[in-house]
Structure 1
Amino acid sequence: MRAYRVAYDGRPFHGFQRQPDVSTVADALLDALVELDLLAAGGDGPTRPTPPGYAAAGRTDAGVSALAQTVAFEAPDWLSPRALNAHLPESVRAWAVADAPDAFHATHDAVRRAYVYHLHAPAADPDRARTAAARLSGSHDFHNLTPDETGTRRDLDCRVESGRTLRVRVAADGFPRQLVRRLVAVVRAFAAGECDDDRLDRLLSATAVDGPEGVAPAPPAALLLARVDYPELSFTPNETAVADVRQLFRERRRRGLASAGVADSALDDLG
């Protein structure tokens, strides 16, 4: 069994997990294994064959990016990150590998996952954002902030750092669907004065808060799966592959700055 750290720009994909008739990160990885003659072709979405022991650390949503997504399966020793990258799109890069026990499971054996959300909210008060993050930290039943009906009680750490954007860092042993992005939406609303203490208490209470009073998730493109911890694994980075990951995100930054420049020019010309 081998485990691979995988980074990707999630914007071109409909999430990580295999789905019928749409492009996903998992499909890109499985396509690479087919091209490497390590996997039989066939099937679509969830019906696609996977290697023995195949599992991933998490199912990132459509548009969400990752630095430390972790995928494990039975793989030959020669399958290095560079060998895998030779058959992956440039938006997906494997960059480190670890030998894992035969019984290793990339989903269940992760003890900690950490996400970072870059929140552009000029009207937000950073101190109020940090207050909301502190209130959301600890052990709560987050049933009002996820569409999942089970696994909603989590003990998490939520912090806010100031900078060009507000960086909302959230860590826990696991996350139900959309929880991180809905937490970010709550932080933004509280920091902008659109959510008061009573509403925050209701969201964390046993009372159901849904419909018009529910919380919609923040947009996905600003979210990054930054870290996944496995105490029993020791990953070996490949320097060339790490350089490729740096280039991937440098190019994303360059394109983002160029796009912002277009918007700035249009706004300037409109006075």
Structure 2
Amino acid sequence: MEVSISNYKVVGSTKISDLKSHEDFGASKKKLEKELEKTREKLGELQDTLYAHGKYAVLVCLQGMDTAGKDSLIREVFKDFNARGVVVHSFKVPTELEKNHDYLWRHYIALPARGKFGVFNRTHYENVLVTRVHPEYILGENLPDVNSVADIDKEFWDKRFEQINNFERTIAENGTLIFKFFLNLSKEEQKNRLLRRLNKPNKHWKFSPGDLKERKLWDSYMDCYEDILNRTSHPHAPWYAIPADDKPAARYIVASILLEELEKYKDIKEPELDADVKARIEEFKDQLQNE
């Protein structure tokens, strides 16, 4: 049940067609859930220490096609966290206020404070993903040099990738530990999950006809994801390609990577009491016991 990080970390040139979409470790769902439970308990303890230490923030970025399991992964992996120490942001279609700022603005203001975990459910990468598949969406940003789709050329996207890389480099250099997870769902499994939503009345609310329209653009999305993985995976902000066809396994892999990587930061520890206060611990105990 050990997770080998090197199996999932994106290093060098990567082709999505070569990545695994299924992993279950040959274990039952119950076994995987038990392993996740043990791992997330340790993560919860580490989060308490991170909060007390107060010098690092942790940003967890989740990307994947519709039905990849982002919501349930967040629920299960961060279940044992203190509520004050983790903030989840689900980025939808930009509001008018957000469109009146640069595209990274809403992500900047949602970044976790030092001592906290921030989880981005869909991320700043939507700006080189959905808008790349649908370049007409860029026109809604009202940019000075973009008057038609014809103005959105290779140079435009190269610039966006450079801006995103600079954004991540800046926050990493200022104490944010970045983890980016691409939930690699197969097209066949997405079909099965969409059908389950349609077959279960209590899941109908999750379905949108737009899901089927986007599914027809699967290959375009995979091309964009492949470009994202290859152009933006760096030591300070690595991508991890997580097989997502088996949800319990995907959750366990993500939790294990977070725990193993964060445990490498040996300076994350609870602050020590002032020497004078520490020397008087017994005195303070006596005061309370003798009230």
TM-score by length of 2: 0.25
Larger radius of gyration, structure 1 or 2?
Answer: 2
Work out which structure has the larger RCO, using CA pairs closer than 8 Å and 6 or more positions apart in sequence: 2
Q: Which has the higher strand share?
A: 1
Q: Which has the higher helix share?
A: 2
